[in-house]
């Protein structure tokens, strides 16, 4: 006798806009599967704290999406395959990035377009894969598509040991760039060097370095209000890439630089390449903490706790 299909699941959801205080753990319908999609049984889902402030989290095309499920970076195994999907099969190990205007992966199951998923090597732990997806894809797009770095590029990474910054340093250095990383403490300086930064500048929050400049490319991975010294650090004709919010174009014009902002796209080819890098140990991925799905909003609070280790905080599921 065939097993009855599972129709409900445990999920972390928010029924109205807000922060972690709005997140509750409850039963929710298993997502319906459309053609071109796969249903994944989630093993790990990474937290990006800022997603609770993104418009896409709460609405799609101007229509309210609540209740919503957060956490768009995931790893797991394929549970079902929708029509017209040929590259994936039930029980395949996978990882990927859910589009930001869809429900995320803080749940037992997530439905995702097959184009947003890649196979995951058996040697790559679910927590490592989930923690790497968004920051690695963001770093790749910033460095390759937006700034076109290459051998000898003088690259400044503001926030060189953060979730995205650590990948900017690693991928930048491996691409031949001469990487200078700013960090906010002496404790972080040694980690930035270990990641591949040729030079490290300690810039405590709220301060500016005495002199730092003449970079071909600067990438801001901190996300607070962008201080003017970052614009000034780029040589005339150089590039500034900002990851969290659009830069001030009037300031960029004053310094004669190009300043861009983007929202990362899921790139399946890069997901495949990322899996290779993870499987061969060529990228270091920091995991700060893992919590069960039952932690709900507490996991988002833990992800911003003072003194926490570097790296991603993740939900893990059995």
More confident residue, 67 or 224: 67
Task: Give the residue-averaged pLDDT of 52-58.
Answer: 94
Confidence of residue 205 (pLDDT cuts 50, 70, 90): confident
Q: How far apart are CA 276 and CA 289, in angstroms?
A: 24
Q: Which of 37, 98, 33 is nearest to 68 (CA)?
A: 98
The share of the chain scoring above pLDDT 90, in percent, equals 86
* Burial of 82 from C-beta contacts in 10 A (0-12 / 13-18 / 19+): middle
Confidence of residue 309 (pLDDT cuts 50, 70, 90): confident
Query: pTM of this prediction?
Result: 0.92
pLDDT tens profile 133-172:
999 999 999 999 999 899 999 999 999 998 899 999 999 9
Confidence of residue 1 (pLDDT cuts 50, 70, 90): very low
pLDDT tens profile 157-168:
999 998 899 999
Structure tokens at 248: 């001030």
Confidence of residue 253 (pLDDT cuts 50, 70, 90): very high
Task: Give the residue-averaged pLDDT of 196-216.
Answer: 90
């Amino acid at each position: 006798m065939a097993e009855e299909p599972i129709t409900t699941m445990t999920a972390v959801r928010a029924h109205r806009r807000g922060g972690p205080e709005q997140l509750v753990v409850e039963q929710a319908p298993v997502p319906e599967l459309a053609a071109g999609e796969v249903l994944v049984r989630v093993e790990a889902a990474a937290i990006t704290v800022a997603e609770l402030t993104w418009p896409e989290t709460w609405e799609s095309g101007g229509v309210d999406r609540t209740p919503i499920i957060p956490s768009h970076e995931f790893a797991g195994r394929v549970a079902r395959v929708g029509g017209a999907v040929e590259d994936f099969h039930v029980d395949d190990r996978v990882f990927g990035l859910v589009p930001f205007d869809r429900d995320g992966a803080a749940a037992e199951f997530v439905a995702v377009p097959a184009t947003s998923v890649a196979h995951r090597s058996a040697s790559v732990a679910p927590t490592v894969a989930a923690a790497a997806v968004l920051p690695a894809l963001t770093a790749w797009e910033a460095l390759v598509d937006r700034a076109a770095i290459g051998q000898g590029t003088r690259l400044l990474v503001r926030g060189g040991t953060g979730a995205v910054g650590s990948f900017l340093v690693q991928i930048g250095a491996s691409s031949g760039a001469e990487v200078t990383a700013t960090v906010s403490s002496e404790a972080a300086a040694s980690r930035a060097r270990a990641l591949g930064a040729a030079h490290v500048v300690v810039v405590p929050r709220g301060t500016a370095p005495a002199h730092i400049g003449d970079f071909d490319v600067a990438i801001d991975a901190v996300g607070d209000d962008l201080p003017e010294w970052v614009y000034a650090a780029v040589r005339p004709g150089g590039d500034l890439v900002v990851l969290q919010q659009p830069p001030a174009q009037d300031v960029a014009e004053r310094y004669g630089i190009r300043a861009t902002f983007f929202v990362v796209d899921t790139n399946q080819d890069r997901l495949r390449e990322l899996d290779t890098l993870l499987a061969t140990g060529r990228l270091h991925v920091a995991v700060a903490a893992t919590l069960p799905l039952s932690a709900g909003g507490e996991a988002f609070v833990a992800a911003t706790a003072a003194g926490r280790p570097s790296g991603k905080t993740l939900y893990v599921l059995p």
